[in-house]
Structure 1
Amino acid sequence: MLNLFTDKTFLTEKYRRDVFPLLFDLYFLNSEILADHYLLVDDVLKSDFIILPIDYAKFLKFKLALKKLQKLSKIHNKPIWIYTAGDYGFTNYIRNSYTFRLGGFKSKHTQNTFILPSFINDPYLDYLKSGFSTVKKGNAPTIGFVGHAQDGLKKYISESINHLKYKFKKAFGLIIADFQSFYPSSIKRKKYLSVLQKSRLLKTNFILRNNYRDGVKNDIERHQSTKEFYNNMFKNAYTFCSRGVGNFSVRFYETLAVGRIPILLDTDCRLPLEGLIDWSEHCVILVESSNVSFEQQILNFHNSKSEESFEAIQKANRMLWETHLRRDMFFLKIHDLFINKKMNHA
């Protein structure tokens, strides 16, 4: 059991959207699974960790509340857990702290940074009613993709303007986020997908959109668009995944949840639980700087698998999502990591 101390005055409906994901499950959802492993305590002396209740960028505005928790951490030598949300996230320099974030850049992360998976609902419950099954290997890799991928001058100007808006907001303190250089994600995505489409050794089933979620306007359109997205993923053994505005891919986790094999473009990404998961066993990680073409990197992975191992990977990916990447299961793994750390220092 890990005991957590926080400022409970922020665990209200007003801050619900910004709450540390673990606290959300414990406090708002009353997760029985997590309640067996984590306990919110009112006495900081009985705690193992102090946890900032909401997104760090939002909590910075409450200077007295933040200062109080930092002071308690220093006086009682209690490590602080920090959640930084959004596409960019924000690097903190608080001593004796651990950061939980979606993205950022692996080369800049410390060992005290934990990458959060994108927490999604089970696609088999809402969109794929047929239930999980595997795709046969086949001679050629079948690669799917449905999503925003567009190039051209108009799109470049649009993405440039969006980046300038981000820089303006950051410069004037309207958002608190790490700096990111300009990365026109939809243009880059179109470029890489076009390369794969030209290959005679790959089978590609791409549906390219000019807008995010095809510009849906209501719940019915959103459901239909998402269903088409997951059906494409379900029918193809592989799905191409690359970063968006932030340096992470939600599609990567959606692919694993469906039980398919992500093809992830490595843009200096750190993946969740790298010490526990051998990600090379679960996905194709494309290295742009390699002398080996994307086509050949995919073929090398595909051709190295037997029929049986190919289907076993799909089963393992579905299981990995269920046991490590769902929100409650992810924080069970975090619990175990810190319990082991605590025992090793006892």
Structure 2
Amino acid sequence: MLKLYTNTNFLTETYRRQVFPLLFDLVFKQHQKLLEKYSIVSNVNDANIVVLPLDYAVFLKQREPFLALLKAANTAKLPIWIYTAGDYGFTNFIPNSYTFRLGGFDSKMDKNTYVLPSFINDPYASVLTQGFTVLKKTNTPNIGFVGHAQSGVLKYLKDYTNHLKYQFKRKCNKILADKQWFYPSSVKRANYLKRLAVNEDLETNFILRTKYRAGSQTIETQLETTQQFYDNLFNNAYTFCIRGVGNFSVRFYETLAVGRIPILLNTDCRLPLSNQIDWTKHCLIIDASSHITIADQILEYHNSLTASAFENIQRSNRNLWLNTLQRDAYFLEIYKQFKTKK
């Protein structure tokens, strides 16, 4: 069992939304499988790991408790787990620390940075009531996408304005986040999808929105757009995935959960548990800078798969999400890795 020491005064309803995800599951959800592997101890001398209880940007403002935990970890010579939330995340330079974050740039993150999957509900538990089945391989790869993708000068300028606002807030220390270069994800997404849509060697089933979730404002329309989104994932073997505001794609994990094959545009991403998962066996990672077009990279990959391999990838992806990338499963994998570090 891994014994965690933290400041439990912050594990309350007041900070519920900012709590380190594992601590949330242990305290608020009391997840039985995780409680068999982790426990929270009241004495740092009994601990294996010190955990900052809240998102780093939030807990840093609690100056005395923050420094007290760092001192406790240093005195006991224990590693520190740090959670940094949000689209961007933040790189800290605290010695002997391990950072958990949603995204960031692989080339800029050290080996002690762990990428969290986007934790989503099982789509087969609520939306896709027909249950998981694999799709048979067809001669032409069928690619789906439903989501926000809008091109044009006005959209570009709007995104650039939002980027400048972010830069201003960051420089004024109003937000704690890593530096980001301008990346108009919606514009780029629309342009890539349009190129694929005109290729006669591909079967594309794209629904492009001009607003997130089609601007849904009622429960009924939210349910409708969610159903449409997951039906598109289910009915297409491949789904095109590209980063959003932050350098990660929620759609990537939604595709895996449905048991389909993500086509991920590589933007210097780091994927979860990359030290143990061979991601090339679960998705097609596209290099947009290659002299080979994106369409040709997709066709080459699709044609390289036998019918049985094509079906096996779908099963493997569904199992990967169930057994490794769901919230509890992910932290059970983290337990295995840190258990060996003791």
How far apart are 1:288 and its partner, in Å? 1.2
Aligned AA for 2:335? H
**Aligned residue in 2 for 1:300:** 300
How far the C-alpha of 1:124 sits from its partner, in A, is 0.8
Provide Cα deviations, 1:164-218, integer angstroms capped at 9, x if missing partner: 1111211222111111011000000011111111211111000000011110112
| Long gaps (5+) in structure 2 | none
SS of alignment partner, residue 240 of structure 1 = strand
The alignment's TM-score, normalised by the length of structure 2, stands at 0.99
TM score, norm. by length of structure 1: 0.98
**Secondary structure, in 3 states, of the residue corresponding to 2:143?**
strand
Structural mapping, 1:132-211, within 5 Å: 132-211=132-211
Whole-Å separation in 2 of the counterparts to 1:247 and 1:157:
20
| Corresponding residue of 2:242 | 242
SS at 1:170 equivalent = helix
Determine helix, strand or coil for the equivalent of 1:341.
Answer: coil
Residue 126 of structure 2 aligns to which amino acid in structure 1? Answer: D
Q: Which moved more, 1:2-11 or 1:191-200?
A: 191-200
1:58 alignment counterpart: 58
Paired residue type of 2:214? D
Deviations 1:241-287 (A, max 9, x none): 00000000000000000000000000000000011111000000001
Deviation at residue 341 of structure 1 after TM alignment? 2.3
Counterpart amino acid of residue 277 in structure 1: I
Q: CA-atom RMSD, angstroms?
A: 0.7
Cα distance in 1 for partners of 2:128, 2:70 equals 46
Deviates more, 1:332-341 or 1:239-248: 332-341
Q: In structure 2, what is the Cα distance between the partners aligned to 1:223 and 1:13?
A: 28
**How far did 1:157 drift?**
1.3
CA-to-aligned-CA distance 1:50-100 (integer Å, 9 cap, x gap):
000010011111011110001011111011000000000011010010000
**Cα distance between partner residues in 2 of 1:200 and 1:218:** 38
Secondary structure of the 1:317 match is helix
Any idea what the Cα deviations from partners look like across 1:212-247, whole Å, max 9, x if unmatched?
A: 111011222111111100000000000000000000
The answer for the alignment partner of 1:6 in structure 2 is 6
Q: Secondary structure at the match of 1:110?
A: coil
Task: Tell me the equivalent position of 1:252.
Answer: 252
Matches of residues 331-346 of structure 1 in structure 2 within 5 Å?
331-342=331-342
2:129 paired residue number: 129
In structure 1, how many angstroms separate the alpha carbons of the residues matched to 2:3 and 2:301? Answer: 43
1:135-184 CA distance string (max 9 Å, x none): 11100110000000001111011101111111121122211111101100
Which consecutive segments of 4 or more residues in structure 1 shift more than 2 A? Answer: none
Separation in structure 2 between the aligned mates of residue 274 and residue 330 of structure 1, nearest angstrom: 12
CA distance in 2, matches of 1:47, 1:27: 17
Alignment-derived partner of residue 226 in structure 1: 226
Match of 1:330 in 2: 330
* 1:42 paired residue number: 42
1:309 aligns with 2:312: no
